[in-house]
Each structure stands twice: as C-alpha cells, then as structure tokens.
C-alpha cells in the first residue's frame, strides 16, 4: 500500500515542472485541481483531482422523499438545474406510470431550452474569459439576465427553478411568460451574431482553438463524453433524439453534429445549439395547450419496488438517473450519472502535448461544472 | 502663425527659473536644485497620471462592457483610485517563504524606475522636456526595456511556479517585440534624419509623419502600436500576467503597495509608449493643420500644445485599451510567430522602402 | 508565389476579423443607452420585485393579528433541510374542546433552499414567500426567525 | 435488437445466465468470474457493439453487492443492463472493465470510493472524492456520528 502511494505521487521524470492548476484558480470555475506536469510550457501529463465539493447527494437522497430529492439535483449541475429536476421527475413518473398533462410537457420543454440557452451563454462568457477576452463575460451575462427574468417572473427563482415536482409543476406559468420569451428570442437573435463577430470570427480566437485537442469519435465513446463536447466529435448522442421525452417528439430540430472534434468544433456546436434551442422555443411558445399544470398525485409518493433509469439531455451531456426502489417513500439507492464526470477525465488525454494556455481553453470548451463532477 | 505658437513656448519660463536659481547659488547647486524640482514635479505628475489612467481604464472597460464603472467614491467615481491606493497602502506586505528577499523587494522598484526614467525625455510642449538628448528615441527604447529586468526578477524571486512561467514568458516577449518597436521608430528617424525627439517634432511642423510618410509611416505606426502593446505587457499580449492561466503571472505573490508599483508601472508604460507614438508619428504637441494658412489652422493654433499632446496621447491610450478589452489573449508560440513571421519582415521591408523614399526625396 | 499570396491573405483576414470585434466593442463604448447597470441602493424606492419572487418564507397575518396556521406540521415534514420547526401546545377553546395551537413557528433562513415545498404543501395556505431579499446580517442567529407574531391567533374559518 | 433477440443472443454466448424482470431495459446477471469475458464480447461483437458504458454503479443489498453496468450502443441505440453479484462483503472485488471502456476507470474509482468494492487490475485504484480513512459512505451500514444528523 505504501509503495503504491509513493508510486502515485511521482508524476513524471525528475526534470518535469509540476504545477497545480486549482483548486483555487480563475479558470477552473470551481474547486477542481489539475495536477499538470510540464516541460517548458508543454504539457506532458494532466491528472484531474476532484472531490473538493463532494456533498454526498446520493447518500443524502437515500433519506429524502422523491419531491425532496429534486431540490438537491438543482445543486449538481446548477446551470442545467431544470434538466436535472426533470430527470428525477420523469423517472418517478415512469415508475408510477403517471400520465402527465400535455401542458406540463410543453412548459418543461420550454424551460429546458431556455435553461440550455442560459447555460450556453454562461459557458460562452467563461470560455471568452478563459482565453483572455474579458468583455465576453459581460455581454453573455447581460443576455442571460433576460432568461433569468423569465424564470423569475413565473417561478420566483432565477438560477435554479425548483418548479418541477413528480407529476407536473408546482405552479403555473405567469400570463406574461410567452410574451417575454418572444421578446427574448427577438432580442437574442440580434445579439447572437455579435457573439460570432466578437469571438468566433476573431483570428486570435481561431488560432487558439482550431486544431487544438482533437477528440476523435472513438475517444468520445470510450471516455463516455456526451453532450455538445461529444457531438463536436461526430458522436450522435443527443438524448432528445435517441430517447425523446417531454415535447421533443413534437418539435423539429436538428441535432448539431460536427466532425472536427477540436476546441473550435466544441465551441461552434454550442453556438449552433443556441440557434436550435431558439427554433424549438419558437415552435412551442405559442402552442402551449391549456389544462392542468400537474397530474393528480398521491400526497406521499411511493415507488413500486424495482429499478428505473431515465436519461435526459442536459446542457452538458447525458444525465442518467438510476433509482432502485424497495417500495418505500425514499429511494433505496439513487445514482446520478453526471455528464461532467465523464467529460472531465478526457482532458488527461486531450491536453497532452499542448501548451498550458491550451489546457485552459480545453477545459473551457468541455464546459465543466464542478459540483456536477463531485455531487 | 509662429507668434501664436511662441506664446506657448515654455523654454522662456524654464530659462528664467534657471537664471534666477543661478543668481542665488553656485551653478553646481543650481543644477542640483533643478534636478530636485524636476524630480518632484515628475513624481507628482507620475502619481496623478497613474491614478487617472487607472480610473480611465476602468471607465473605458466599463463602457465597453455596458457597465457604469466606478461611480461611488466622489462624483462619477473619480476618487475611486485614490481610495484603492489608500487600501493598497494599508494592506499587509505578505512575506514569502523561501523567496529571495532582496530581489523580491527591489523588483517592483526596478520596474517603476525604468518607466520613471523614460518619462524624463518625453516632450510635453516646446521647452517642456526634462532631458532633450540628441539620441532621445534610442534612450527611450533602451530605458523602457529595463522594466523587463524587474519583471524577470519578480518572477524568479517569488519562489512560485506560476510567477516563474510568467516571468519567462515576459522575457521572451519583450526581447522579441523590442525589435519591432525599434524598427518602426527607425522609419521616422530615417524620415526626419534625427533621433532627437524635439527635432522630430519640429520636422512635423508642416504635417505629421503619419500623413507625410505615405503608407510606410502608417504601417510603421500600426506595427508600433501592436509591438508597444506587447512590450508593455498589456492585453491581448498580457501573457506575463495571464490572469486566467497563471492567476497573476509574475506578480502573483506580491501584495499591497508592491503590487501597486507593478500596476502603476504598467499604466505608466502605456502612457510612455503612447506619448512616444504621439511624438514620433502624430506630431507631438504640434497642432493639426490642413494645407497652409486658413482659418481652421489658426483656430487649431490657439489650442495649447500641452492639450494637443495629451489629447493625442489619450487617443492612442484609448486604442490600446480598446485592444485589451476586445481581443482574447495569444498563446506564447503565436505571440512569437506574430513577431518573427509577420511584424519583423513587414518592418524590415518597410524600412527599406522608407530609406528609398527618403533617398529619392519623395516625402513631403 | 501562392505562399506569398496566402501570407498577405492571412494578414488581411486577421485585420478584418479583429476590426469586426473592435467595431462591436467600440460601438458599445459610444452608446451609453446600452448600459445595463442598475444602481442598487439608490433605486431601492422604485425597485419592484416580481409578484412571485421567492424571498424568505413568511406567515401572512391579517389586520387582527391572525394567521392561518393550524400547526399540523406538514411543512416541517416536507422540508428537506430541517428549516422549519413547529412547536405546538394544546389550548382549550370556548366550547371546551381541546385544540392545537402553534406556539412558535420557527424558520431557519440560513438553511432554506427556497424549494417551495412548505408553501405548496401547506393545506391551509398559511405560508407565503416574502419579497424581502436583503437578508445579510452579521450574526447567524438572527437568521432564525419566528414566523407567527407575538399574541397572534388563528383565523376562525381555518380548520 | 429487441429484448427477446438480445436474450437469445446472450444465452448463446454464456448459457445459464439469469434474466430478471425489468420493464425498461433487458437485464442480465452475470457471474463475477465470467463478467470480463462477457463484457468483452458485448463490446466487440459486431451485432451487439455495446461500445458506450452509460452508467456504472453498485447497490448495497446488505448481504451482497450488486454492481450494475448500463451499456448502450452508439450505433444501434439498444441498451442492456448487466449486473454482477458480489457476495463477499469483507473484501469485495470484481474484474475491472477499464480496458474495455475507458470511462469505466473513473466510474470504478467512484464505486471503490463510495462502496469499497475494489476492481482487480485497475490501473489506478485509489479514492476519488474522499480521504483515505473515511469509510465507505454508500454502504448501508455506514455510520458517521459526527457528520450525520438522523431525524
């Protein structure tokens, strides 16, 4: 055992320069540590260390009822909070075989897409900032504010919505909901091309990202990289297409796929996904059917004994919720297959041979949310 | 026309001070007293200008980013930087374990002295120049490159890996970009036929070099802007600092007033290169003239040369801030590629062209 | 030759894209209308939160200092974080019946995650979300609040 | 492939498997010693091509552990749940699959961290989140007086 520990501490050869990027570092966007072994500025080895904000959500959930678990899932990937909520709700609804009203499906899907745009906006801010373009941060947040206002008007919460509950929603949407979304789409369609001019087209940005850290499709599958990062490598992994849920079967949208697999491709997939999300929103917003905002549920939700698995596409990839129930009102075991957990470790393959500045760009392009890795 | 400019000639004033000083004490002491006076004036000027530039940068970046910027301390937040300065003065100077104490402490001073020395030979107006060397351009280029020694020492002595990477980057960067700065200044030196800054300005009395020198001068100006931004370690070339990569690069371990020195020196360096660009390419304190004579030119003459100088410098500084708040940062190898593959060949070609143009007398 | 053409193409492509970015930032620089900053303490008077804003949990009292809480404890059971503690006592009504009355409805704001489970599950709508968001205090114990006002009683109609 | 076809296929490779009832995905319980060979076949067989390990976790059933693998194919999009039962509670161990699916390396480390199930031949079998002396929190018999509040 002791020998093993010693073996693990030695990272590379003696003359390697080892630095810790994190846990407190401007570009890890949270408490994540990369142990980087350098030669000059070239990276020879990257070892990600996580666990700095492990809160034991899975253990906590074993003592909570299903509606209570939902508020904890918000705190995993806080940028796609609604998708996380929905994953648990869908899993519980599937287990109980509850038919959810049409209206709920539509609203959930709209919230999903709004959340996805908000998440990608924040990613864009942070990606620009990682590369040293600080102004992007403010432009992205400025536009994200409009989405948060939509959430706040209807549900009173901003970053995390806490509005889903097994069977539907906690409260109905505000009468001004649709109008605000329409306004937002009109506004954002004007602003999104500015993102392209400011960053995407920029020659420095291109130099920094094009051809950097190419992830092949095989790598993506092997490492389980999903979401926009996986789709940039040509891996068709959009759960909205593979196993549709919510109102996704009713809308037409394109699964954004690119084949380059480099940092620029991962960037472009997300930018294009914002356009696609706006398309979905346009199709749904004006067609929300009338009806109840929740299905009739029992006061205490008990799942039948058995195992249930639900896949959901969050802004960062595939979220899997695996519930093992023994018939009680609390789950016997709940497991969240977090998208960032799988996406993180590919960095130790991608970053090798590139400069330390590229490591920052790569981790930015993978769009990691640290609480989701640790849970 | 000459009359109006003469009203703003400061050499009469400075000579009068010189005379009155020499009347009351021996010439040696008089010179010493002048040094002290000039030193004090520059110290105050340096501090005020540094504070103002920090404020200006914060306001410019705020407006670019749809924000208001500092607006709490004083009207429009103009005292914000003073409050920051007081805060920095009161902060603890964190001692670093295993740091090279001597080098660690003198590094900020080297950086600030280098910029202080350079400012001495900037001509603010006719006669308003502390040192009018006959090799002024050379002096500024030489002195301003001293600053990198301070940055290297700061990075080396901090005993921090991030700092060391930042310092090494800075060394590579400044050494390469110095070439471009020197060569682009050389174009105007070839045009003007002198290295004395006051004479370069006098040679622009009938038009600024950026207008007179055709395309080569314009090219040289753009190259100078890029290269000098790089030499002052400002974004998009702030690799030595590289906030998102190296936390704060070479000054990661510095706190309190030592950090403020680096901060101030960065802004002063920006002012120096901007004023050098103004002096060499934009006619220094010369007013803007179109053609000869005319009402427009007369009105322009009434604006004091100091105002002209600071307005032009301000515009150049704004352009540099504009760069910083728009572009992402380059990677170290791209930075060197830009210099050795693009700027240097363009510059060399440019200077050959200028030499040819001057030989044929094809400039105005 | 083509290498030379590409070289100049690169330069002009670079300048063009850089200029495109500078045009955007420069455009914002000269248009102060686009500034989105709100001056917070100054705009306090006319700062309007959305109706459904989830601030702290409150217990609305009417003008007779009466609330609707029966002390059933459903909010306490539903709260995932142990934010709510309901202390009740038995009291004799005028008809001589024994009735449950809340003694203290304790709310730990420092543990609250605003998941709204208490407000939504309350059978008598006794709880609501306030619009106050200025909850910064120097002492953590100040975040523990008693929601029922002193001397308050339950509204008669609520069963 | 649909559920029945998959079942038949599995029967052919490894006779004597148990197929528990699962409404959602086909499910198969593989003995611990056969797991590696079985999974290797699932990954490399051209008709199956389960190249994507969706989820790897374990469940503590008090008397035994169940390690659960959710496999999917990125080409055919069919899914299967492979389970293996570990009876040994003192020193639970199972063969690593990290050379078949790279992502298993990290999921296995997570399982090791939280359940204490060690994976044989794993390249880097150490804890991922917690300190070395923490205990294995997702085991049902885990207690931590100082940090757990039981209502």
Start-to-end CA span in chain B (Å) = 20
Q: Which residues of A touch C116 (CB under 8 A)?
A: 156, 162-163, 170-171
Nearest-angstrom CA–CA distance, C68 and C62 = 9
CA distance, residue C15 to nearest chain B CA (Å): 11
* C53 has a chain B CB within 8 A of its CB: no
Interface test with B, best of A11, A41, A207, A357 (most B CBs within 10 A): A357
* A330 has a chain C CB within 8 A of its CB: no
Strand partners, D55: D70
* A204 has a chain C CB within 8 A of its CB: yes
Identify the band that residue B95 occupies on the pLDDT scale cut at 50, 70 and 90: confident
The pTM of the full predicted model, rounded to 2 decimals, is 0.87
Q: Is C158 helix (H, G, I), strand (E, B) or coil?
A: coil
Per-residue b or e along D39-54, where b marks 16 or more CB atoms closer than 10 Å to that residue's CB: beebbeeeebbbbbbb
Identify the band that residue A81 occupies on the pLDDT scale cut at 50, 70 and 90: confident
Nearest-angstrom CA–CA distance, B147 and B150 = 5
C-alpha neighbours within 13 Å on the C-beta side of residue C122? 21
For chain B, give me the number of helices (H) and strands (E)? 17, 0
Q: Are A273 and A253 in contact (CB under 8 A)?
A: no
C-alpha neighbours within 13 Å on the C-beta side of residue A290? 1
Burial of residue A55, with CB atoms counted within 10 A of its CB: 0-12 exposed, 13-18 middle, 19 or more buried: middle
What digits encode the pLDDT tens for the residues A216-248? 888 888 888 888 888 888 888 888 888 888 888
Write down the pLDDT at residue B2: 43
D95 closest CA partner among D118, D113, D112: D118
Find the CB nearest C22 among B67, B68, B322: B322
Q: Give residue B15's Cα distance to chain centre.
A: 27
Q: Which residues of A touch B239 (CB under 8 A)?
A: 357
B contact chains, 3+ CB pairs < 8 A: A, C
Write down the pLDDT at residue A1: 44
Interface size between A and D, measured as CB pairs under 8 A: 82
Identify the band that residue D149 occupies on the pLDDT scale cut at 50, 70 and 90: low
Chain C's closest residue to A67, CA to CA, is: C117
B201 to B210, B212, B287, B319: CA distances (angstroms): 12, 13, 11, 22
What digits encode the pLDDT tens for the residues B186-241? 888 888 888 888 778 877 777 777 777 777 888 888 888 888 888 888 878 888 77
What digits encode the pLDDT tens for the residues A122-177? 888 888 888 888 888 888 888 888 888 888 888 888 888 888 888 888 888 888 88
D1 closest CA partner among D57, D68, D71, D66: D71
Q: CB D91: neighbour CB atoms within 10 A?
A: 9
Mean pLDDT taken over chain A: 85
CA distance, residue B56 to nearest chain C CA (Å): 13
Residue ranges of E strands in A262-361:
306-314, 317-325, 333-337
Q: Which residues lie below 8 Å from residue A13, measured CB to CB, with a gap of 6+?
A: none
Q: Which residues of A touch C8 (CB under 8 A)?
A: none
Find the CB nearest A156 among C14, C53, C117: C53
CB contacts under 8 A, C 9-48 vs B, are 11, 18, 21-22, 24-26, 28-29, 32, 34-37, 39
Q: Which residues of D touch A222 (CB under 8 A)?
A: 51, 101-103
**CATH of the structural domain A53-374, one choice from 1.10.645.10, 2.40.30.10, 1.10.3720.10, 3.40.190.80:** 1.10.645.10
For residue A19, pLDDT over 70 is answered with yes
| DSSP codes joined into one string, A134-150 | THHHHHHHHHHHHHHHH
Burial of residue C137, with CB atoms counted within 10 A of its CB: 0-12 exposed, 13-18 middle, 19 or more buried: exposed
Helix residue spans in chain C (DSSP H): 2-29, 74-78, 117-121
C-alpha neighbours within 13 Å on the C-beta side of residue A144? 21
Nearest-angstrom CA–CA distance, A343 and A363 = 10
Triad C108, C112, C113: Cα angle to 5°: 180
The CATH number of the domain holding residue D59 is 3.30.460.80
State the sign of the Cα–Cα–Cα–Cα dihedral B346, B349, B354, B360. Answer: negative
Nearest-angstrom CA–CA distance, D97 and D32 = 12
Find the CB nearest A135 among B242, B245, B326: B326
Query: Domain C57-154, what fold?
Result: Alpha-Beta Plaits (3.30.70)
Q: Cα-Cα-Cα-Cα dihedral of B130, B133, B138, B142, to 10°?
A: -50
* A153 has a chain C CB within 8 A of its CB: yes
Interface list for chain D against chain A, based on CB atoms closer than 8 Å: 22-25, 51-55, 57, 59-60, 68, 70, 74, 77, 81, 101-103, 105-107, 110, 114, 124, 126-130, 137-138, 142, 150-151
A contact chains, 3+ CB pairs < 8 A: B, C, D
Are A134 and B325 in contact (CB < 8 Å)? yes
* A298 has a chain C CB within 8 A of its CB: no
Find the CB nearest C22 among B60, B68, B326: B326
* Percent of chain B clearing pLDDT 70 (strictly above): 95
Q: Are A128 and A110 in contact (CB under 8 A)?
A: no
Mean pLDDT of A67-72: 86
Q: Cα-Cα-Cα-Cα dihedral of A216, A220, A221, A224, to 10°?
A: 170
Nearest-angstrom CA–CA distance, B47 and C87 = 64
Nearest-angstrom CA–CA distance, C143 and A357 = 44
Interface size between B and C, measured as CB pairs under 8 A: 36
A320 closest CA partner among A302, A334, A330, A331: A334
B265 to A242, B45, B119, B148, B301: CA distances (angstroms): 58, 13, 11, 11, 33
Nearest-angstrom CA–CA distance, D115 and D64 = 12
Q: Are A365 and A263 in contact (CB under 8 A)?
A: yes
A near D: at least 3 beta-carbon pairs less than 8 Å apart? yes
Mean pLDDT of A63-78: 86
Q: Does some domain include residue D64?
A: yes
| Least confident segment among B22-31, C132-141, D9-18 | D9-18
Query: What is the layout of strands, in order, in the sheet containing A33-39?
Result: A17-21, A33-39, A42-49
Q: CB D5: neighbour CB atoms within 10 A?
A: 12
Q: φ, ψ for residue D93 (rounded to 5)?
A: -150, 150
| DSSP codes joined into one string, B87-125 | HHHHS--PPPTT--HHHHHHHHHHHHHHHHHHHTT--SB
Q: Are A312 and A86 in contact (CB under 8 A)?
A: yes
Nearest-angstrom CA–CA distance, A176 and A179 = 5
Q: Which residues of D touch A245 (CB under 8 A)?
A: none
Rounded (10°) angle between helices A102-130 and A356-366: 170
Write down the pLDDT at residue A4: 52
Chain B's closest residue to C22, CA to CA, is: B326
Q: Is A294 helix (H, G, I), strand (E, B) or coil?
A: strand
Mean pLDDT of C62-73: 81
CA distance, residue A375 to nearest chain C CA (Å): 17
Are B244 and A202 in contact (CB < 8 Å)? no
C-alpha neighbours within 13 Å on the C-beta side of residue A95? 29
CA distance, residue C102 to nearest chain A CA (Å): 23
A16: phi > 0 → left, psi -120 to 50 → alpha, else beta; which? beta
CA distance, residue B108 to nearest chain A CA (Å): 24
B54 closest CA partner among B264, B320, B273: B264
Strands A164-165, A168-169: parallel, antiparallel or unpaired by DSSP? antiparallel
Mean pLDDT of A97-126: 88
Nearest-angstrom CA–CA distance, A173 and A150 = 10
Mean pLDDT of A251-274: 87
Longest dimension (CA), chain D: 52
For residue B38, pLDDT over 70 is answered with yes
For residue B361, pLDDT over 80 is answered with no
Q: Is A49 helix (H, G, I), strand (E, B) or coil?
A: strand
Strands A333-337, A317-325: parallel, antiparallel or unpaired by DSSP? antiparallel
Q: Which residues lie below 8 Å from residue B274, measured CB to CB, with a gap of 6+?
A: B228, B313, B314, B316, B317, B320
Nearest-angstrom CA–CA distance, B125 and B63 = 31
CA distance, residue A197 to nearest chain D CA (Å): 35
Q: Is C94 helix (H, G, I), strand (E, B) or coil?
A: coil
Write down the pLDDT at residue D150: 64
Q: Does some domain include residue D25?
A: yes
State the sign of the Cα–Cα–Cα–Cα dihedral B305, B185, B235, B264. Answer: negative
Are B322 and C39 in contact (CB < 8 Å)? no
Q: Is D118 helix (H, G, I), strand (E, B) or coil?
A: strand
CA distance, residue D16 to nearest chain A CA (Å): 23
Element (H, E) at B234: none
For residue A12, pLDDT over 60 is answered with no
Q: Are B302 and B197 in contact (CB under 8 A)?
A: no
Strands D93-95, A33-39: parallel, antiparallel or unpaired by DSSP? unpaired
For residue B3, pLDDT over 60 is answered with no
Q: Are B191 and B209 in contact (CB under 8 A)?
A: yes
Rounded (10°) angle between helices B256-281 and B147-157: 150
Mean pLDDT taken over chain B: 82
Token couple for A294: 């929740």
Mean pLDDT of B90-107: 83
Burial of residue B279, with CB atoms counted within 10 A of its CB: 0-12 exposed, 13-18 middle, 19 or more buried: buried
Mean pLDDT of A66-93: 87
Q: Which residues of A touch D77 (CB under 8 A)?
A: 242
Are D103 and A223 in contact (CB < 8 Å)? yes
CA distance, residue A235 to nearest chain C CA (Å): 31
């Amino acid at each position: 055992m002791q020998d093993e520990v010693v073996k693990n501490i030695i990272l590379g050869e003696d003359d390697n320069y080892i630095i810790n990027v994190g846990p407190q570092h401007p570009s890890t966007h949270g408490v994540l540590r990369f142990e980087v072994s350098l030669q000059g500025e070239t990276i020879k080895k990257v070892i990600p260390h996580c666990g700095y904000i492990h809160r034991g959500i899975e253990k906590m959930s074993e003592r909570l009822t299903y509606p209570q678990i939902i508020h904890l899932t918000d705190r995993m990937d806080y940028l796609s909070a609604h998708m996380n909520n929905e994953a648990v709700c869908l899993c519980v609804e599937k287990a109980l075989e509850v038919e959810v009203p049409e209206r709920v499906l539509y609203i959930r899907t709209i919230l999903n897409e709004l959340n996805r745009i908000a998440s990608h906006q924040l990613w864009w801010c942070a990606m620009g900032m990682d590369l040293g373009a600080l102004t992007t941060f403010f432009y992205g947040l400025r536009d994200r504010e409009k989405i948060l206002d939509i959430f706040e008007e209807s549900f009173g919460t901003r970053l995390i919505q806490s509005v889903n509950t097994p069977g539907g929603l906690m409260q109905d949407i505000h009468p001004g909901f649709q109008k605000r979304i329409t306004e937002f789409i009109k506004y954002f369609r004007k602003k999104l091309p500015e993102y392209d001019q400011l960053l995407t087209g920029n020659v420095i940005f291109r130099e920094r990202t094009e051809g950097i850290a190419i992830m092949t499709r095989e790598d993506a599958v092997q490492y389980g990289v999903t979401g926009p990062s996986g789709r940039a490598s040509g891996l068709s992994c959009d759960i909205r297409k593979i196993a549709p849920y919510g109102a996704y079967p009713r809308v037409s949208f394109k699964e954004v796929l690119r084949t380059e697999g480099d940092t620029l491709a991962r960037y472009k997939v997300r930018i294009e996904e914002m356009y696609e999300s706006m398309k979905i929103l346009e199709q749904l917003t004006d067609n929300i059917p009338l009806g109840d905002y929740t299905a009739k549920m029992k006061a205490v939700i008990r799942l039948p004994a058995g195992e249930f698995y639900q896949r959901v596409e969050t802004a960062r990839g595939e979220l899997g919720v695996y519930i093992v129930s023994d018939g009680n009102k609390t789950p016997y075991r709940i497991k969240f297959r977090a998208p960032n957990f799988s996406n993180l470790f590919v960095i130790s393959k991608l970053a090798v041979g590139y400069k330390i500045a590229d490591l920052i760009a790569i981790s930015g392009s993978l769009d990691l949310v640290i609480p989701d890795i640790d849970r | 026309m000459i009359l109006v400019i003469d009203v703003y000639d400061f050499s009469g004033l400075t000579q009068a001070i010189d005379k009155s000083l020499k009347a009351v004490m021996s010439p040696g002491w008089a010179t010493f007293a002048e040094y002290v006076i000039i030193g004090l004036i520059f110290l105050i000027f340096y501090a005020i200008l540094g504070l103002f530039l920090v404020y200006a940068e914060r306001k410019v970046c705020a407006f670019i980013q749809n924000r208001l910027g500092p607006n709490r301390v004083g009207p429009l937040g103009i005292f914000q930087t003073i409050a920051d300065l007081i805060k920095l003065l009161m902060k603890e100077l964190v001692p670093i374990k295993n740091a090279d104490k001597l080098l660690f402490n003198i590094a900020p001073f080297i950086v600030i002295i280098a910029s202080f020395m350079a400012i001495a030979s900037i001509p603010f107006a006719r006669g308003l120049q502390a040192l009018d060397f006959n090799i002024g351009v050379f002096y500024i280029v030489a002195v301003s490159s001293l600053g990198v020694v301070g940055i290297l020492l700061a990075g080396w002595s901090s005993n921090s890996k991030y700092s060391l990477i930042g310092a090494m980057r800075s060394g590579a960067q400044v050494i390469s970009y110095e070439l471009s700065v020197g060569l682009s200044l050389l174009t105007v030196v070839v045009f003007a036929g002198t290295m004395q800054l006051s004479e370069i300005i006098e040679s622009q009395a009938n038009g600024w070099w950026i207008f007179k020198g055709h395309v080569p001068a314009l090219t040289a100006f753009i190259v100078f802007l890029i290269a000098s931004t790089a030499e002052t370690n400002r974004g998009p070339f702030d690799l030595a600092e590289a906030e998102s990569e190296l936390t704060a690069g070479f000054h990661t371990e510095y706190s309190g007033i030592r950090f403020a020195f680096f901060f101030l020196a960065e802004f002063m360096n920006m002012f120096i290169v901007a004023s050098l660009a103004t002096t060499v390419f934009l006619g220094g304190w010369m007013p803007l003239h179109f053609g000869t004579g005319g009402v427009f030119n007369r009105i322009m003459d009434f604006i004091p040369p100091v105002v002209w100088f600071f307005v032009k410098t301000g515009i150049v500084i704004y352009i540099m801030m504009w760069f910083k708040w728009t572009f992402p940062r380059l990677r170290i190898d791209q930075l060197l590629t830009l210099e050795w593959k693009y700027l240097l060949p363009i510059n060399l070609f440019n200077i050959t062209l200028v030499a040819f143009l001057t030989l044929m007398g094809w400039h105005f | 030759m083509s290498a030379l053409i590409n070289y100049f193409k690169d330069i002009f492509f670079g300048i063009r894209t850089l200029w495109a970015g500078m045009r955007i930032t420069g455009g914002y620089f000269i248009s102060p209308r686009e500034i989105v900053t709100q001056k917070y303490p100054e705009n306090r008077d006319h700062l309007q939160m959305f109706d459904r804003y989830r601030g702290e949990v409150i217990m609305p009292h009417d003008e007779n200092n009466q609330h609707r809480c029966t002390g059933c404890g459903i909010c306490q059971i539903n709260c995932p974080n142990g934010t709510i503690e309901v202390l009740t006592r038995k009291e004799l009504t005028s008809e001589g019946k024994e009735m449950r009355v809340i003694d203290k409805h304790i709310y730990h704001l420092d543990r609250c995650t605003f998941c709204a489970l208490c407000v939504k599950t309350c059978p008598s709508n006794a709880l609501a979300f306030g619009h106050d968001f200025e909850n910064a205090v120097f002492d953590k114990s100040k975040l523990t609040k008693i929601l029922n006002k002193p001397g308050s009683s339950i509204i008669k109609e609520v069963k | 492939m649909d559920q029945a076809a998959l079942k038949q296929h599995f029967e052919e490779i490894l006779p004597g498997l148990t197929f528990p009832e699962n409404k959602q995905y086909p499910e198969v319980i593989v003995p611990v010693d056969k797991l590696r060979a079985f999974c290797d076949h699932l990954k490399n067989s051209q008709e199956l091509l389960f190249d994507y390990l969706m989820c790897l976790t374990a469940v503590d059933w008090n008397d035994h552990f169940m390690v659960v693998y959710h496999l999917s194919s990125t080409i055919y999009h069919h899914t299967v749940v492979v389970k293996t039962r570990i009876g040994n509670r003192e020193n639970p161990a199972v063969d690593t699959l990290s050379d078949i699916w790279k992502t298993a390396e990290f999921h296995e480390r997570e399982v090791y961290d939280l359940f204490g199930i060690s994976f044989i031949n794993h390249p880097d079998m150490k804890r991922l989140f917690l300190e070395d002396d923490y205990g294995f929190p997702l085991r049902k018999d885990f207690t931590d007086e100082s940090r757990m509040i039981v209502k």
